[in-house]
Structure 1
Amino acid sequence: MTQRIRRGDLVLMWGDVTEWEGFVQMLGALIVPMRNAIALLVPVYPQSCKQEVSMWTLHRAVLNALRRLLALDDPIPDNTADATACRGRLTYDALLRMRR
């Protein structure tokens, strides 16, 4: 744990907070360092032993999907002329589909 989290790091914690002998505690806490914005996505759900899908398996899958999405080109046009051309193309495609 001390290798992943250093003094002064911002962390995301999730778990049940209880009190025991006058002390507040969080047993089995999920603690994730927030070194980047993607760390904010931490799936928390009742784990399914039947399907063998752990919280960390889902976490890795979501991070992998986000990294792939971030690597894609942005399809939104940068200027008005391109936006107008795209709108015309979408309208034309829609009309073709309606004729079929």
Structure 2
Amino acid sequence: MPQVAFTPQLRRFTAAPEVASGAATLRAALEDAFAANPQLRGYVLDDQGHLRTNVVAFIDGRRSVDRVKLADPLRPDSRVYILQALSGG
């Protein structure tokens, strides 16, 4: 069953538990995570439902390709990591 995990940067703002999901796509897995904590949606997706520019998703160690539809496929044993890009200076 795919696992979705969030980095500590997101967990500073809201609860972001690791979620086991039976999803076949990145979007469906994210929806399972949002069901566990609806506040996460605003940190991860913009108002059009696309990944925010400062958020990156990795599936099995590879950066997701589809930032709009989030249709990247998941395998039954996939690990999804959602990271918030940081900048500063």
TM over 0.5: no
TM-score (norm 1): 0.23
Higher relative contact order (CA 8 A, sep 6+): 2
- TM-score normalised to structure 2 length: 0.26
Which is richer in helix?
1
Greater gyration radius: 1
